[in-house]
Every structure is written in structure tokens, then in C-alpha cells.
Structure 1
Amino acid sequence: MTDNNSDEIPFAGTSNSRDASDAMEKVSSGIYDLIGVKGKASDNRPGVSDCSDKDAKTHFRIFHPWSFYPASASDLDVAMERLKRELPKHGWEIVTYGPDTSKNKNINLVADNDNEKSSVKITQMSKNDPPKLSLMVVSGCYKVPDGEEVERF
């Protein structure tokens, strides 16, 4: 999804907004399962956004921001290392990994999954109170079935 040769967003298929949202929650749930440490996830719902170069009435993307709070702050490093190790075993290709340019030097991991037509950006925010992983899962570009329009939420 973040091909070095192209900024083009992949086509994710034909779907209505609700079904695509459900599919994105399943992708997020799969990532949650890979974290492998005790903790709690935020209860954020997916939303709908535009595909930059497509008709906003017929094309859309799903985004799902959520956070993971480990039961113990020391488990944050464990969770991030586990994701770095486990995501590729489940169809994800790690595109970038390393500290960002913020003063906190948060660790960022960006991974794409061609089968799921989705991408995830995970930021390890160790200095937050409480410490957390911040995740943003985004889909490729969907087209609604003929005769329907994108439902926004």
C-alpha cells in the first residue's frame, strides 16, 4: 500500500461503508491479538474518508484509530517488539520502523497488508501518561455498489 514507486492507493473492492467498516475492525482485532501482552484497547469506531482522486459519492476509505494501554508500562517495549516480529508472519510487510523526530523519539512502525488492502501505523508512546501504543489502520479505496452512495460516519 505504500509502494515506493507510487503513491496510488490500492483498490480494495466493492462494498458499502458499513461492511467495509466491519472488515476494518476485524483487521484491527487481528493486530490486537498479535500484541500478546495484557492490557486494554480503546473502544474507537472506524470512520469514512475520501479517496483523494476519486468521486467522493462513490469511493471511500475506512480509517480506524485506536490505542492500546498495557497493564504494565514495562510491557510496552515487549508489545512493540512482538508486533515487529509477528506482523510479517501474518501477511504484513514492515515498510518503516524506528524513532520519529519528536523530542520523545517515539518508535513508529508502518506496515502494509496487500491481502487485506490495508495499512497500519503504530506509534509507541512511552512517555505518555499512561504509556500506550497509538494505532491507525487504513483501508485501500472502496467503490460502493452501483446505485448506492457512500454513507459517512
Structure 2
Amino acid sequence: MNIRPSALALAAAVLLVTLTGCSMTEGNSDSVPFSGTSTSSDAADATERVSSGIYDLIGVKGRASESYSTVMGCSGKDTGKYFQILHPWSFYPASASDLDVAMERLKEELPKRGWKIVDYGPDTSKNKNIRMTADNDEKKVSTRIIKMSKNDPPKLSLDVVSGCYKIPDGQEIERF
């Protein structure tokens, strides 16, 4: 699939507004939390480990899509010094009936692992997909999970986004 950079930038902006205005920060709920100083490669590895942890909680047979993290700018900050990581992926259960089980397990298990569910319910699409947004203040990450029962094949669509990192002095942000 060929995605134009402008479409990816628009999708990233919409995702940031959706995910990062939640409760990941103390005080100002409109700002993205500071995740510390890191290279973009190390930050991507950390974000992908969080995704793997979410995958482990699903608890039903299925497969995850092949996906890669991407580097985004932090809203209102110097794009040469600050960045966030987005890791989008999908989960396809072996059986369509397991989709509900997978979503319920995530709803139950995420809070037991330090996540706070900040939004849950149907979206405004004609399919009324179930959306869940959860924040992990300790890890400075947020996830949005969408149960897409009417897709062919049915799937969970997951986006994991980090807080805002600062690149170490003397280094440059790798864009991928």
C-alpha cells in the first residue's frame, strides 16, 4: 500500500489529538507528558515493547500485523529536538468470535497493569466500532484500541503513542 506523506501527517495529527490530551500528565491535561531523553531508535524499541505487552494480554489465538514505529514531532516543540513515537498495528483473531473475548480481556487486564481507561464505547461510524483509550502514566504512553467487528477480516486496530522525548545533546533525531 502506498500512503502519501501528507495523508500520514494528517493521520498522525488526528491520532495525537485523540490520544495525548487524556490524563497522562499531572496538571495540564492538554499537554503531552515528557518521557525523558532518548534516541529515536531506543524510544521506538521501548514503545514496541509496550505494544508487545499489550499483545500478551489479548489472550486468544491470532496474529499481529507486521508493523513499524514512526517518529513524529511534538506539538508546539522544536522538531529538531523533540519527538514522539507512534506504533500502529492490528490483531486478527483466529476466530471471529474471539474478537469480543480479546477486547474484554484488554478492558479487564490493562488496569491491572498500570493503565487507566479514559474512554470506552462505540464510535460515531456506521459500524459503531468499540473504541478504548488507555493511558499508562508510569510508562508515559497511551493506546487506542478499536474493535472492528464488521471488517473482513474482523480485527483490533491498535495505536500506541509515547510521550514527548528529547534527543540527547549532539545527536539528531532519526526519522523513520
TM-score, normalisation: structure 1: 0.98
- Matched pairs, number: 153
Match of 1:80 in 2: 103
Identity of aligned residues (%): 71
Say yes or no: does 1:49 pair with 2:99: no
Aligned-pair Cα RMSD in Å: 1.1
Q: Which runs of 5+ in 1 are unaligned?
A: none
- Per-residue displacement from partner, 1:57-100 (whole Å, max 9, x unpaired)? 01000000000000000000000000000000001000000000
- Equivalent residue number for residue 124 of structure 2: 101
Query: 2:62 is matched with which residue?
Result: 39
Please name the residue that 2:154 is paired with: 131
Structure richer in helix, relative to its length: 2
CA drift at 1:49: 0.2
- Taking the aligned partners of 2:164 and 2:43, their CA distance within structure 1 comes to 10
Cα separation, 2, equivalents of 1:51 and 1:150:
12
Deviation of 1:21 after TM superposition, in Å, equals 0.4
* Alignment counterpart, residue 40 of structure 2, candidates 17, 35, 49: 17
Match of 2:12 in 1: none
- Offset, 1:148: 1.2
Find the counterpart in structure 1 of residue 169 from structure 2.
Answer: 146
Match of 2:107, as an amino acid? K
The SS at the match of 2:135 is strand
TM-superposed CA distance for 1:6, in Å, is 2.1
1:28 to 2:22 alignment: no
SS in 2 for 1:6: coil
1:5 deviates by 5.1
SS at match of 1:109: strand
Find the residue that maps to 1:72 and give its secondary structure: coil
More RCO (CA 8 Å, sep 6+): 1
Q: Give runs of aligned pairs for residues 58-69 of structure 1, distance below 5 A.
A: 58-69=81-92
Q: Give the partner amino acid of 1:77.
A: D
Runs (4+) off by over 6 Å: none
Cα deviation 1:90-146 (Å, max 9, x = unaligned) = 010000000001110000000000111000000000000000000000000000101
In structure 1, which of residues 88, 113, 118 is the aligned counterpart of residue 136 of structure 2?
113
**Matched residue SS, 1:87:** helix
